[in-house]
Amino acid sequence: MKVAKFLLVLAVFATLFTTVRADEVADWNRNLFEAARLNVPATSPLLVTRNAALVQAAVFDALNGIERRYTPIHVEPAAEPGASRRAAVVQAAYAVLVKLYPSQAAALLAKRDASIAAITSDDGDTESSAGQSIERGIAWGQTVGDAIWAWRLTDGIAPAPPPYMGGTNVGQWRPTPPAFLSGAGVQFSYMTPWVIQSPSQFRPGGPPAVTSQRYAADFNETKTKGDISGLNRTADESLYSLFWNFSTGAAYWNQIALTLAERQHFTLSDRSRLMAFVTLSMADAAIGCWDAKYTYSFWRPVTAIPLGDTDGNPDTAGGPFTPFLVTPNHPDYPSGHSCTSGAAAGVLARTFGENSSFSVTSDAPEMAGVVRSYSSFTEALEEIKNARVFAGIHFRSACDDGSQLGQQVADYVQSNALQRIHGNGNDK
């Protein structure tokens, strides 16, 4: 009996950690996040949203340029007849990644060569034409990757704006300890979106007034649950606050998407479209989020709680406060993680159903062996929102409104991009 139970446990963990079935969309998505993690310094969660969209947009337009099933993201279909879909995917992803991470050029080229070498004539080519098909796929993938890269060079990512230092009025963001850095990612607040009409299209109504009861409730929750002492957090609350902070939201949600796609036996084309929806939605949610952050420029708990006696609210007592985790250097409202997670969850709920169960692991060494499991996307989002509050780095309203912004962006992206050329029926 004990042996049977042991084998069952092994089977469960084997299922959780089984590598997603190899295909070029999944392989190069993983290569993307590995490159982001290995970069020195590691790519920030905000910048990862843009980088992931760059790669997956190139992958989608390269594959779609051969299949011609959907409206393109940017590059009109123009592949030569018989071009290998798999080779096009590999080359498009590689073409973007090597520009994003030139210091990793040798490693990326080795992965590219290995991917191309693994391609056989199963794209429907005859054995004699397989070489020509792959060559055409490579040429088309390079064309698309270059076009996507050139297109987004003018999206506002550069030049960086002057340092943003906020202000010292009540409720206003200012640099936070320990490094007291200027506000990060200001250019994302005015960056050209991928699909939505403008950065402000889904701008939320703003944080609660500091004199309101809602603000007092937010203040006292973060003060109580988010302090470094951990006296008011359970061990699991501390664990998942760390878990969702050690890697990027994009890395987690791309993993979840690929796992669910594998479970449903998505084709190469299905996966390409799904990953484009996920990354475009997260990228536009980040842009919308940063628009709101720098519009409202609301202070962080690490600033607000010590100054509680100065905010005019009788229910916010000031005092010493050290958050459980280090506060990111940008305004509180809305929460970036909540915005992008809301977008990804919105895409996946619409694709697989709200009550889909799934598990997720972290690519961060600090979280090796930790598995988080959920019975619905709402359950995961609630944990993520709690994680930001219990880490002491956000107020609840920033997380609730951020999640809603992300889901609104996802709905818009799925309704207005990558539409079927012959009818708009939903598919995997």
pLDDT above 50 (res 128) = no
Say if residue 323 is preceded by a cis peptide, omega within 30 of 0. Answer: no
Burial class (CB in 10 A: 0-12, 13-18, 19+), 279: buried
Backbone angles phi, psi at 273, to 5 degrees: -70, -40
Q: Which two tokens stand for residue 423?
A: 């009818």
The CA-based angle 358-70-355, given to 5 degrees, is 20
CB neighbour burial string for 77-88, b if at least 16 within 10 angstroms, e if fewer = bebeebbbbbbb
Rounded to whole angstroms, how far apart are CA atoms 121 and 119?
A: 7
Distance of CA 143 to the CA centre of its chain: 26
pLDDT above 50 (res 409) = yes
Interval 405-414 mean pLDDT: 98
CATH architecture of 186-416: Orthogonal Bundle (1.10)
Confidence tier at 125 by pLDDT (50, 70, 90):
very low
CA nearest neighbour of 278 among 52, 58, 73, 86:
52
SS3 124: coil
Q: Which two tokens stand for residue 9?
A: 């446990």
Identical fold between 15-152 and 186-416: no
Tens-place pLDDT, residues 21-78: 459 999 999 999 999 999 999 999 999 999 999 999 999 999 999 999 999 999 999 9
pTM comes to 0.93
Contacts 24+ apart (CB under 8 A), 17-25: 17/361, 20/258, 20/259, 20/261, 20/262, 21/262, 23/86, 23/268, 23/271, 24/86, 24/89, 24/90, 24/93, 24/115, 24/268, 25/59, 25/63, 25/89, 25/268, 25/271, 25/272, 25/275
pLDDT at 22: 56
pLDDT at 423: 52
* pLDDT > 70 in the chain, percent: 91
The CATH number of 15-152, from 1.10.10, 3.10.450, 1.20.144, 2.60.40, is 1.20.144
Interval 337-341 mean pLDDT: 98
Contacts 24+ apart (CB under 8 A), 120-129: 123/84, 123/85, 123/86, 125/82, 125/84, 129/82
Rounded to whole angstroms, how far apart are CA atoms 45 and 25?
A: 21
pLDDT above 60 (res 361) = yes
Interval 227-250 mean pLDDT: 98
* pLDDT > 90 in the chain, percent: 91
Q: Which two tokens stand for residue 199?
A: 């950065």
Q: Domain map of the chain by residue range?
A: 15-152, 186-416
Q: What is the residue-averaged pLDDT of the chain?
A: 93
